[in-house]
């Protein structure tokens, strides 16, 4: 130690060992922090570096084994050399203490905190280059890694951890929804809304989006032929249910294209209408939308009659209704589409009692509960637990509701507004 040359070599070796410690520390954090789904995408695209990193991550016990073996070797070697250098300057008594204090600070800053922080922020910039070194190291040190992992994995099995293989964990629907929300500007807002709607299809049933029974426009064969023809000519729908006397006695679905053939005949009869009608397709009201979407595709259908558990007709559902749950309304004329909602000058809304709650929430951005009744009339009755008089007021969440008119045991209209916004307008 009296010669300056070996002392200089030791200082140089210490610097190299601290750099090696930084490499192993950053490699550990970078490998564990890398986005597995982005990595899988790049690997599927044929990127060699991504495939190499994925192979290393497939066995995290081996990867961590080789990293920690290398890190501990360089740190222990650095500690030994630092002790020898410190003894040279401070003697046998104070040297080890000085070496421990100085090396701890140096390794903590330059070998741990800085490299790990950088790797956590930029894992791709560390993981990919590090894989060129770690892959051959894993082969060279395989016997030592195997022995260390064998002991560690045995102890892990004693505490119930048996599966040690890595890879991206399967995402639940709620987790995937969070991923979509956190995509930010990487996915346009419109596309985010569509993806979220697709994920929510499983939580929505046909009963939630169907046209209610009392709103179904169909051909009643008990009416005279002139009335039926007038209905066909003035129909705004492409497909019309055909029934006899009562909607529960449905016979088929008439497409207007086929109706044109009926009307072109010299003699038009009810039998010719029945012949052109396609047999009805029935849907249980509790069918989830994602299932019904597949059923429409498999059955080559675009419209179905929704029935309850007793076989009574509850409404009508179309393929367009399901698609609108994903992409939104096909028309931008909200006032024409949602005729049950009327905007008032004071910012409130006059809403018909038959209005669907989910439609109200979508149009007005409210959060009325959808787990119970499907219509505003049903929601009011559920909260009041009795049939109210006109001018009765109630509040559901942040929405205030004032009953305006009642007819035949049905709340036909109510004034609704958000309580907070209404208070602001009054203060102004």
**Residue appearing with tokens 């250098």:** 85
236 Cβ contact partners less than 8 Å away, ≥ 6 residues apart: none
Instruction: Give the pLDDT of the chain (428 residues) as one tens digit per residue.
Output: 444 447 778 888 889 999 999 999 999 999 988 988 888 888 888 889 889 998 888 888 889 889 999 999 999 999 988 888 888 888 888 888 888 898 889 999 999 999 999 999 999 999 999 999 999 999 998 888 888 888 888 887 887 776 666 555 567 777 777 778 777 777 887 788 788 888 878 888 898 888 888 888 899 999 998 899 898 888 888 899 999 989 999 999 999 888 888 888 888 888 888 999 999 999 999 999 989 999 999 999 999 999 998 889 999 999 988 888 888 766 544 444 567 888 888 888 999 988 888 888 888 888 888 878 888 999 999 988 888 877 788 999 889 999 999 888 888 899 999 876 444 444 43
Other CB atoms within a 10 A radius of the CB of residue 133 amount to: 14
Q: Which two tokens stand for residue 398?
A: 């942040």
Query: Do the Cβ atoms of 411 and 376 come closer than 8 Å?
Result: yes
145 Cβ contact partners less than 8 Å away, ≥ 6 residues apart: 62, 65, 66, 69, 138
Catalogue the E-assigned strands of 126-245: 211-212, 219-220, 239-244
For residue 46, give Cα distances in angstroms to 39, 54, 58, 205. Answer: 11, 12, 17, 41
Catalogue the E-assigned strands of 256-389: 282-284, 303-307, 313-318, 341-343, 349-352
CA angle 140, 169, 133 (to 5 degrees): 20
CA angle 25, 129, 138 (to 5 degrees): 70
Integer Cα distance of 89 and 95 in angstroms: 7
Integer Cα distance of 420 and 307 in angstroms: 40
Q: How many residues does the chain have?
A: 428
Question: Helix or strand or coil: residue 59?
Answer: coil
Domains of the chain: 4-158 (no CATH), 202-319 (3.10.580.10), 334-427 (3.30.465.10)
**Residue appearing with tokens 């905007």:** 343
Q: Which two tokens stand for residue 38?
A: 């982005």
Check residue 111 and report its DSSP letter.
I
349 Cβ contact partners less than 8 Å away, ≥ 6 residues apart: 341, 342, 343, 364, 415, 416, 417
């Amino acid at each position: 130690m009296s010669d300056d040359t070996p002392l200089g070599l030791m200082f140089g070796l210490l610097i190299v060992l601290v750099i090696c410690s930084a490499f192993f520390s950053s490699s550990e954090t970078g490998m564990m922090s890398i986005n597995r789904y982005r990595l899988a995408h790049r690997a599927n695209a044929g990127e060699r570096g991504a495939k190499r990193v994925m192979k290393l991550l497939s066995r995290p016990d081996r990867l961590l084994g080789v990293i920690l073996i290398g890190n501990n070797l360089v740190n222990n070697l650095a500690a030994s050399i630092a002790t020898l250098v410190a003894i040279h300057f401070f003697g046998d008594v104070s040297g080890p203490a000085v070496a421990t204090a100085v090396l701890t600070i140096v390794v903590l800053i330059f070998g741990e905190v800085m490299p790990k922080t950088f790797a956590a922020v930029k894992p791709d910039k560390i993981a990919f280059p590090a894989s060129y070194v770690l892959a051959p190291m894993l082969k060279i040190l395989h016997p030592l890694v195997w022995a260390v992992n064998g002991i560690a994995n045995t102890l892990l099995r004693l505490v119930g951890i048996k599966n040690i293989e890595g890879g991206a964990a399967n995402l639940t629907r709620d987790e995937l929804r969070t991923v979509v929300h956190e995509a930010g500007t990487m996915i346009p807002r419109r596309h985010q809304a569509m993806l979220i709607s697709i994920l929510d299809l499983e939580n929505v049933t046909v009963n939630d989006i169907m046209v209610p029974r009392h709103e179904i426009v169909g051909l009643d064969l008990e009416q005279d032929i002139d009335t039926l023809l007038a209905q066909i000519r003035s129909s705004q729908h492409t497909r019309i249910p055909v029934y006899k006397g009562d909607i529960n006695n449905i016979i088929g679905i008439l497409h207007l294209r086929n109706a044109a053939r009926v009307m072109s005949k010299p003699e038009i009869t009810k039998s010719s209408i029945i012949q052109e009608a396609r047999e009805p397709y029935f849907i249980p009201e509790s069918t989830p939308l994602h299932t019904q979407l597949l059923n429409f595709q498999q059955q080559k259908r675009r419209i179905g009659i929704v029935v309850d558990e007793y076989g009574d007709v509850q409404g009508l559902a179309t393929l367009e209704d399901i698609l609108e749950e994903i992409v939104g309304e096909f028309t931008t004329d909200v006032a024409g589409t949602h005729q049950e909602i009327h905007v008032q000058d004071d910012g409130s809304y006059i809403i018909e009692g038959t209005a669907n709650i989910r439609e109200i929430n979508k149009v007005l951005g409210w959060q009325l509960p959808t787990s119970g009744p499907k219509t505003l009339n049903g929601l009011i009755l559920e909260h009041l637990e009795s049939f109210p008089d006109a001018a009765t007021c109630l509040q559901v969440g942040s929405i205030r509701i004032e009953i305006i008119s009642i007819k035949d045991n049905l709340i036909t209209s109510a004034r609704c507004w958000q309580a907070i916004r209404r208070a602001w307008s009054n203060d102004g």
